[in-house]
Structures are given as structure tokens and as C-alpha cells.
Amino acid sequence: MSDAPADKSARKGEVALAFDPARIADDAHLRFIGRLRSPWARGNCPKNLREAREQGGVFRVEVDPPFRAGLAGLQVGQPVILLYWTGAARRDMIVLHPTHREAPTGVFALRAPSRPNPIAVGVVRILAVDPEAGVLTVDALDAFDGTPLLDIKPWLHSVDIPPAQG
């Protein structure tokens, strides 16, 4: 690893791995189950869901036919966790220097899309469910239109809020 910028896209203090995780032998097999639909493309995508909610738009989760039965039980108003693949992002960066941070920071302390496994997470609220068409309309997305969907999980208050420190 080196702390010198490897190319012009790296900022001072950023560190790239000596290898590209996308180019090593497979150790997992993932299947995209659908796509995210948003008004966003490179250059206009919000940095997070808060910004996406503020900007507004129509946001849809489209689930491919073989997986649509898995939508059974989801309800309007329910929060869900979306896992999606930000595969256009760099996979060799391990330390980044976001413009909103004073110092370089490890990718595991950030939600940046550049990371060894470009899996993003978003917690969104369901606004409409059409299980036959395989469509969830949700309150926001912070991903490019067409971003591959890996999974949908229910957000559970009793499980997903860490206990208070005490």
C-alpha cells in the first residue's frame, strides 16, 4: 500500500490497495435480484438518502420475476433495508479523503461507494407495493438509475437499533 495518490482521482492522504479486489478469484457468487430506478446519474446523484429525500423524485425498486414472491408480507409504511451494488466505484481504495472530512478515513468508517466490495445499504420507507409487477415505490434512493439490487430485508426496531451503552 502507498499513501501517494495513484492517479488524479485520488486525494492527498488516500491509500489504494496493492491489488484490485475485483480482479481476484471468485470467493462468493451473488445474483442481482432487480434494479433501482431513480432520477440520478453520474454528476447529479445525492451523497446520501437525506439529500435524496430533500431533492425528491420518484424512486422504485424493481424486482425480477423469479424473486417477486419474496415481496409477500411487505406493507406500505414499512421501513426496509436495501443492499445494492455500486459496481462502477473503485474497489482498490482502502483509505479515502472525502471533502467533508478533515483527514483521510478508512473506508469501513465511511459509507462511500469506493470499497473492496462495493455494497451499499439504504434504509427506506415503502410508499406502495405491487408484488405482481415486482415494484416497490420507496421514499428515496441515493443510487444511479439502474443500480443492481442485491437484497431487501425488513428493518426491525427490536433488532436494528443497538442497545444503549450502559
pLDDT, averaged across the chain: 91
CB 119 within 8 Å of CB 30? no
Give domain status of residue 7, yes or no.
Answer: no
Give domain status of residue 166, yes or no.
Answer: no
CB 116 within 8 Å of CB 17? yes
Give domain status of residue 123, yes or no.
Answer: yes
CATH of the domain at 120: 2.40.30.70
What amino acid occupies position 84? Y
Q: Which of 12-16, 35-39, 85-89 has the highest mean pLDDT?
A: 35-39
pLDDT band at 66 (very low <50, low <70, confident <90, very high): very high
Average pLDDT over residues 5-23: 76
C-alpha dist (Å) from residue 104 to 70, 82, 98, 101, 119: 40, 27, 7, 7, 21
Checking if the pLDDT of 109 tops 60, the result is yes
Give domain status of residue 118, yes or no.
Answer: yes
Give domain status of residue 60, yes or no.
Answer: yes
Backbone angles phi, psi at 113, to 5 degrees: -70, -25
% of the chain beyond a pLDDT of 90: 74
93-96/105-106 β-pairing: antiparallel
Which H helix or E strand runs over 65?
Answer: none
Task: Specify the pLDDT at position 7.
Answer: 58
Number of domains, the chain = 1
Give domain status of residue 64, yes or no.
Answer: yes
Closest CA to 142 of 159, 156, 123: 123
Which H helix or E strand runs over 146?
Answer: none
Give domain status of residue 17, yes or no.
Answer: no
Task: Specify the pLDDT at position 8.
Answer: 59
Checking if the pLDDT of 78 tops 70, the result is yes
Checking if the pLDDT of 138 tops 50, the result is yes
Closest CA to 45 of 142, 162, 125, 117: 142
For residue 143, give the C-alpha cell: 443510487
pLDDT band at 2 (very low <50, low <70, confident <90, very high): very low
DSSP string for 89-122: S-SSEEEE--TTSSS-EEGGGS--S-SSS-EEEE
Expressed as residue numbers, the domain containing 127 is 30-156
pLDDT band at 35 (very low <50, low <70, confident <90, very high): very high
pLDDT in tens, 115-131: 999 999 999 999 999 99
Give domain status of residue 20, yes or no.
Answer: no
pLDDT band at 5 (very low <50, low <70, confident <90, very high): very low
